[in-house]
Structure 1
Amino acid sequence: MPVRNYTYYDYTLSLCPECLQRVGAKIIIEDDLVFMTKRCPDHGFFKTKIATDVEYYKNIRNYNKASEMPLHFGTDVAYGCPYDCGLCVDHEQHSCLSIVEVTDRCNLTCPTCYAMSSPHYGSHRSLEEIEAMFDTIVRNEGEPDVVQISGGEPTIHPEFFKIMDIAKSKPIKHLMLNTNGIRIANDPGFAEKLATYAPEFEIYLQFDSFKPEVLEDFRGKDLTDVRMKALAKLNELNLSTTLVVVLQQGKNIDEIGKIIDFALKQQCVRGITFQPVEIAGRNRDDSASEKITLTEVRQEILNQFPALNSDDLIPVPCNPDALAMGYILKLNDEIIPLTRYINPADLLNNESKNTIVYEQDEGLKMQLIDIFSTGISVDKVQPKVNQLLCCLPEVVAPDLGYDNLFRIIIMNFMDAHDFDVRAVKKSCVHIVNKDLKLIPFETMNLFYRDDKQKRLEELRKDTRVLF
């Protein structure tokens, strides 16, 4: 009998990249790669590479854990995922990270912007609207783990520091500011005022490349001097910072190791988030061939930063399809990978076999208790940092601070090409929209922004999307 040239592995629901119609999708293994194949009745056949490491892809299902629900759901199920976001009662994960977009506007017009922000696009939110957005998160989460103030570029909002004060008045465990760093670099006293909101505060700083041509391609201009000036100020203040790196095939993949080396030498930097480019917003016209998969990023980290091995970058249980993580302990000039000591099977069974102790001659002890708990506990140093992120380890170490821990996160935001309903149901990064509903990051950029709403309504009316 004839034999197909691939192995059928799984089935899911996806989207047509052309019309966003919901379509069935097969997951297949072919030539030691994992692909998603799907067919739209109107636009034909699509095939998208979703993983380059077959064993890693198969293993992610072993990292699933029981879902943590929000305290409040915003919508019922009427049309089926992803057309009911809000969060709907069928969503499988609370908001590990909630995003408040305080403005549509930006002081850049980045070609990679998923939100279409620019100096003239949209408007600033009022303080009343913004406080209602924060209150929506609190209603859903009680004490939100992490809330990120974003935009557009949030620092250009005319009442920016009033927004910061509102945020700090809420029971938010850890506050982040998503920024391109221009005001930090160029506005005297701005960084110093930001530092007054520490310690439960962190900068989420764009940092895509050391190459001027890549920055011009991604951001519309060479921001090298801006990034270095901003980091110099943040280092001077030791204001906790995460570097955020958008990755695109043929552009900056070869810089991954160099960026990690650089980040580890910065006093203020607590980690790096690598984000494969999402084909949304101004990226809509980009070729899907410029995307890079999570497993390709993971392999490049291992190739370019040999201090880590394959046990040091593992799936994050709240959404293992879309997130991978690794942790490093920084002690003076010493770098100690931590994740390799974790046995995920024991952790997911709530057993306590995974405690490890790191000892130095001085008697310093560090217990890595549970990499899937809610954060770092650094007694007598930063008592509230133990509630930082659901995907950070819990560390009991009275002599260590947050600046001793360095994290590497790979965050793959799906688009219509690689959309997988199984993963989006576990999305834990949510944006508060103008209707005060929490929308998963991926579906927000596909369906729930202003210019996408008309298409969403059309899809909802189409009987093919109904149960």
Structure 2
Amino acid sequence: MLIKKTRSLCPSCNSVVDAEIVEEDGSVWLNRTCPLHGDFRYLYWSDPEMYHRFDTYDAVGNGIANPQNPGAPENSCPTACGLCNNHHSQTLLANIDLTNRCNLDCDFCFANARACGFIYEPGFDDIVRMLQVLRDEKPVPAPAVQFSGGEPTMRKDLADIIRKAKEMGFPQVQIATNGVKLATEPDLVRELRDAGLDTVYLHFDGVTKETNPILAIHKKTLENLGKAGLGTVLVPTVIRGRNDHQLGDIIRFAIENIAFVRGVNFQPIAFTGAASDEDIQKARITIPDVLARVEDQMDGIIRKDDFYPVPCVLPFSDLVEAYTGMPQVRFTAHQHCGAATYVFVQPDGVIPVNRMVDVESFFESIRHMAGTIRKGGTINKYKALLEGVRGLHSSVKKGEQGNTAKFWKMIGRTLISQNFDALREFHWNALFIGTMHFMDKYNYDIERVRRCCIHYATPDGKLIPFCTYNSGPVYREQVWRKFAGKPDSGADSSGDDETFEPYSGPVLRRVGDQVLPYNHPADPNSTPVT
């Protein structure tokens, strides 16, 4: 059964081709034909029922008002990036690659950083210019930036970069890290915190040595982050047959460390390098697969239908925009890009937020409140707020759990008293559980690309959607090569010889369930470019 038509990429030559999303054999598939390389059929989503449920949250945004490529033809995607007039979402989270150097070498790294043979490491001034592009977005500046790589902690000026981002007005500054240096350098952890770092996204693939060979390092990392009071999100790359049997254990690990672990964000593997059909069939796992395993491994305490797609929170943006009269960041990511929920961690157990509130009724109350407020007048605003809260109260009472006092208190303090500290209290008493499935050339859907809300900033002033940058027509490699430094002189693209800090620690490589230094007798790989 045809669900809809879209456009995709030929997995062999990366040319743009027409495609169809179809429901067949109990799954959702992406079919396409390349004139040169023939027919291709790859799994898109494994659960048609969940696919259609998420489709009800479809919400197309208006993009940014100042795109970098304002005259791009309708059919130019994805070959005309940066963001163009055909892109439908604002930047919710920006990524900036600070380096392609790394002190780990993971076989599933979508950056494939250590295989480049050259050094990409933009200078401080280059990074400031990228940050400024993000803050200049209209109608709303990008609210969050994540510094990534490679491994961002290998830069000696990381704290200065974080400090500058906070000075430029980013409410949320993050790093994506493997945690190796943070385990051995607690002073660095404190330095990054003092510079203004808000959240650490820690690559964390499991709770045993077999699934996470650097588990001992990660435990020390988390100890240091906890002592510094830095919130952490665990980010497992989920690979079928390798660690998908431990998703529940990872959540339980997060619950046990709720004092400083704020969330778990599962990322199903994306095949951004060379992959055979056998590799894909063996290791592919989709969002519904992840959520089904979570339900099974958590014994139904957290269920598959507890999760909602990103656009579900759009009514909150509508409400704040209507109440304040100010444009807000709008969560118009594609409904099949990710899923998330919150669970309350209490002494007597774990309660998903939708067991405490009827979510559909709750969102409808928010939508009604926003619509009423838009009709105007200060008195009408406050009256609509009071009437809306009564509707919210009704939706909370419909929840499965009787103990909803904490949730209702948080909502009341936030909306009636305009005390947004209550939301911070909510976050610290809850655990975020989410999954985001970034695309590769095998499941590439251009309609998803045009709705992407996670964008990479590049030294030439462009903003490129995440899945185009990593899985499209080789944008990451193009950017890194164009702005590469000179490995023989140790200089970066800005000519600053002081940017590179010699790394004296071990360079590690995953070999099966072991992590070994390069040139270890058990490592069959040759010495890499350093």
Q: TM-score, length-normalised on structure 2? A: 0.73
* Partner Cα distance (2:184, 2:27) in 1: 46
Match of 1:57 in 2: 51
Q: In 2, are the aligned partners of 1:143 and 1:171 still within 8 Å (CA)?
A: no
* Residue type at the aligned position of 1:295: P
Match of 1:439 in 2: 464
* Partner Cα distance (2:292, 2:20) in 1: 24
* Partner Cα distance (1:243, 1:424) in 2: 25
* Residue type at the aligned position of 2:72: V
* Partner Cα distance (2:121, 2:218) in 1: 25
* Partner Cα distance (1:156, 1:262) in 2: 27
Q: In 1, are the aligned partners of 2:294 and 2:304 still within 8 Å (CA)?
A: no
Confirm whether residue 271 of structure 1 aligns to residue 266 of structure 2: no
* Partner Cα distance (1:354, 1:246) in 2: 37
Match of 2:219 in 1: 228
Q: In 2, are the aligned partners of 1:313 and 1:324 still within 8 Å (CA)?
A: yes
Deviations 1:154-203 (A, max 9, x none): 111121211121112111111111111011101141122223245x7011
| C-alpha distance 452-194 of structure 1, shift in aligned 2 (>3 A) | closer
Match of 2:327 in 1: none
Q: How does 1:419-434 map to 2 (within 5 A)?
A: 419-434=444-459
Q: Is the partner of 1:447 in helix, strand or coil?
A: coil
Structure 1 residue 311, shift from structure 2 partner: 3.2
* Residue type at the aligned position of 2:93: L
Q: How does 1:295-444 map to 2 (within 5 A)?
A: 295-305=288-298, 306-317=300-311, 318=332, 319-332=334-347, 334-340=349-355, 341=357, 342-343=359-360, 346=364, 349-351=367-369, 352=388, 353-354=391-392, 364=406, 366=408, 383=421, 396=422, 400=425, 402-444=427-469
Structure 1 residue 57, shift from structure 2 partner: 0.7
| C-alpha distance 378-180 of structure 1, shift in aligned 2 (>3 A) | farther
* Residue type at the aligned position of 1:257: G
For structure 2, list consecutive stretches of 5 or more residues without a partner in the other structure.
Answer: 312-331, 370-387, 481-530
* Partner Cα distance (1:47, 1:27) in 2: 10
Q: Greater shift after overlay, 124-133 or 359-368?
A: 359-368
Structure 1 residue 350, shift from structure 2 partner: 4.6
* Partner Cα distance (2:41, 2:403) in 1: 55
Structure 1 residue 58, shift from structure 2 partner: 1.4
Deviations 1:347-376 (A, max 9, x none): 684555445559999975545759xxxxx9
Q: Greater shift after overlay, 64-73 or 417-426?
A: 64-73
Confirm whether residue 25 of structure 1 aligns to residue 23 of structure 2: no
Match of 2:522 in 1: none
Q: From 471, 475, 491, give the equivalent of 1:449.
A: 475
Deviations 1:183-224 (A, max 9, x none): 1101141122223245x7011101012343444xxxxxx312
**Aligned pair count?**
423
Q: Greater shift after overlay, 52-61 or 248-257?
A: 52-61
* Partner Cα distance (1:320, 1:228) in 2: 34
* Residue type at the aligned position of 2:360: N
CA RMSD of aligned residues (A): 3.0
* Residue type at the aligned position of 2:290: V
| C-alpha distance 348-36 of structure 1, shift in aligned 2 (>3 A) | farther
| C-alpha distance 126-321 of structure 1, shift in aligned 2 (>3 A) | same
Match of 1:204 in 2: 201
Q: Greater shift after overlay, 133-142 or 360-369?
A: 360-369
| C-alpha distance 304-18 of structure 1, shift in aligned 2 (>3 A) | same
Match of 1:191 in 2: 189
Q: How does 1:35-74 map to 2 (within 5 A)?
A: 35-67=29-61, 69-74=63-68
* Residue type at the aligned position of 2:285: I
Structure 1 residue 113, shift from structure 2 partner: 1.7
Deviations 1:399-423 (A, max 9, x none): x353212111110101111111111
Q: Is the partner of 1:93 in helix, strand or coil?
A: coil
Q: From 224, 236, 242, give the equivalent of 1:245.
A: 236
Q: In 1, are the aligned partners of 2:127 and 2:459 still within 8 Å (CA)?
A: no
Match of 1:4 in 2: none
* Partner Cα distance (2:415, 2:427) in 1: 9
Confirm whether residue 293 of structure 1 aligns to residue 308 of structure 2: no
* Residue type at the aligned position of 1:328: V
Q: In 2, are the aligned partners of 1:379 and 1:397 still within 8 Å (CA)?
A: no
Q: TM-score, length-normalised on structure 1? A: 0.82
Q: Greater shift after overlay, 299-308 or 329-338?
A: 329-338
| Larger Rg belongs to | 2
* Residue type at the aligned position of 1:129: D
Structure 1 residue 71, shift from structure 2 partner: 4.1
Q: How does 1:150-161 map to 2 (within 5 A)?
A: 150-161=148-159
Structure 1 residue 240, shift from structure 2 partner: 0.6
* Partner Cα distance (2:81, 2:368) in 1: 31
* Partner Cα distance (1:281, 1:347) in 2: 46
* Partner Cα distance (1:91, 1:450) in 2: 19
Confirm whether residue 84 of structure 1 aligns to residue 71 of structure 2: no
| C-alpha distance 354-181 of structure 1, shift in aligned 2 (>3 A) | same
Match of 1:219 in 2: none
Deviations 1:426-445 (A, max 9, x none): 11111112322110010001
| C-alpha distance 121-167 of structure 1, shift in aligned 2 (>3 A) | same
* Residue type at the aligned position of 1:81: C
Confirm whether residue 96 of structure 1 aligns to residue 92 of structure 2: yes
Q: Relative contact order, CA 8 A, sep 6+: which one is greater?
A: 2
Q: Is the partner of 1:118 in helix, strand or coil?
A: helix
* Partner Cα distance (1:176, 1:187) in 2: 18
Confirm whether residue 132 of structure 1 aligns to residue 122 of structure 2: no
Q: In 2, are the aligned partners of 1:277 and 1:291 still within 8 Å (CA)?
A: yes
Structure 1 residue 261, shift from structure 2 partner: 0.6
| C-alpha distance 126-95 of structure 1, shift in aligned 2 (>3 A) | same
Q: In 2, are the aligned partners of 1:28 and 1:35 still within 8 Å (CA)?
A: yes
Which structure dedicates a bigger proportion of its chain to helix?
2
Deviations 1:42-75 (A, max 9, x none): 1111111111211111122210224153242111
